[in-house]
Amino acid sequence: MAKAQDILNYMREVGTWVNWEHTVDRVIVGSAEAEVQHAAVAWIPSREALKRAMELGCQLFVTHEPTLYSHTNELDSIDKWPGAPEKKKFIEDNGLTILRCHDTWDNMPDVGIPWSWAAFLGIEGQPSASRPYMNVYPVPATTLDELARRVAARTAVIGEPSVQVAGDPKLRVEHLGIGTGCACFPVAYREMGADAGIVCDDGTSYWQAIQWAVDQGFGIIRVNHGTSEEPGVAAMARHFAKKFPDVTFHHIPQGCRFRLVGV
């Protein structure tokens, strides 16, 4: 029977780009020796997702984002977040092991976060330029607002029916930057030859990078962090299911992490 450690060992084997002395990819809570028949895979271990994993009879929860509200050294900073120690105890009391797969999956070729995101958006072909965490793709010539509408039609499926747009609505877009969560930098997209780029709300601020983009005539489409990474998390679940056929992997969909309320 597979153990949590076996899955971590596989991540270490394939994740040659990860600095394994300084990475968040590790067992966060629970035992690496836990035997696994059922595993949950989700973007973030919210209380709701944890309860769903327990309903599914999971021994393991593979998460992309933090469990205890800090990106690194989660246990070292646990006392800084009210409720974090109780959340950790809740996980332990229910016999669940939390394994984080972040640095490995952000750069996993072909199926990692940026590639799965591009595929979900219907972007075809190979990038015209690539850097760690970011790719630029040639796209059929269109305007910024028309491109944004196409993106919104896809993100609506995972809970975000409208996207934020900054820049000239009629800006001609022929090369689009697509990146990984918070690692979506308009300056880098422009250097890579893009006319516009998709960024996420957790990683790009209006007073800085987005204002630079608008001033420079560069188009911005902004989506929720969870929206942009949900396709990659689903791909992670499918990938692990193939590699560990004796374990049933349950993808717990989350998608956009907010809802809009208007008058």
pLDDT mean over 175-189: 97
Share of the chain above pLDDT 90, in %: 99
d(CA 101, CA 186): 26
pLDDT digit string (tens) for 114-159?
999 999 999 999 999 999 999 999 999 999 999 999 999 999 999 9
Quote the DSSP letter at residue 131: E
For residue 1, is pLDDT > 90? no
Q: What is the pLDDT of residues 105-116, one digit of tens each?
A: 999 999 999 999
| pLDDT tens-place string over residues 222-234 | 999 999 999 999 9
Domain shared by 70 and 134, yes or no: no
Q: Domain boundary residue among 64, 91, 106?
A: 106
Contacts of 167 (CB under 8 A, 6+ apart): 144, 196, 213, 214, 217, 218, 219, 220
Residue 64 confidence (pLDDT) above 90: yes
> Which residues share a beta bridge with 179?
134
Q: Are residues 121 and 98 in the same domain?
A: no
Helix, strand, or coil here: 213? helix
- 39 three-class SS: strand
Which amino acid makes up residue 242?
K
In a domain, residue 233? The reply is no
How many structural domains compose the chain? 2
pLDDT for the residue 37: 98
> What does the pLDDT read at residue 104?
98
Q: Give the chain's mean pLDDT.
A: 97
Region 180-189: what's the mean pLDDT? Answer: 96
Task: State residue 235 phi and psi, 5-degree precision.
Answer: -65, -35
Domain, as residue range, for 201 = 113-227
Question: 3-state DSSP call for residue 155?
Answer: helix
> Which CATH number does the domain housing residue 19 bear?
3.40.1390.30
